[in-house]
Amino acid sequence: MFLILFSIIGGLLAGWVLSIFGADVALINVFQPLFSQVELTSQHYYVAFGLLGLILGIIAFVKKK
């Protein structure tokens, strides 16, 4: 269970490190046309990286069993 929690934190840390280099603005600008009814913000960016970490953590947890 801690593996999944650490994976979420790892995903958020990866998003934070990438945002230092401006990747958050670039990714928001790339994905904004796909979600024309919603204005994407940095909060969406961090939620996406947290969910990506969660998914990868679940996959790692299932493989470990």
**The two three-digit tokens of residue 30, written as one number:** 């790339």
Whether the per-residue pLDDT at 65 is higher than 80: the answer is no
Per the structure, the complete domain to which residue 8 belongs is given by 2-64
pLDDT in the model for residue 64: 84
For the chain, the domain total comes to 1
Model's pTM, two decimal places?
0.87
Span 10-41, pLDDT tens digits: 999 999 999 999 999 999 999 999 999 999 99
How far is 44 from 50, CA to CA, in rounded Å? 10
pLDDT in the model for residue 30: 95
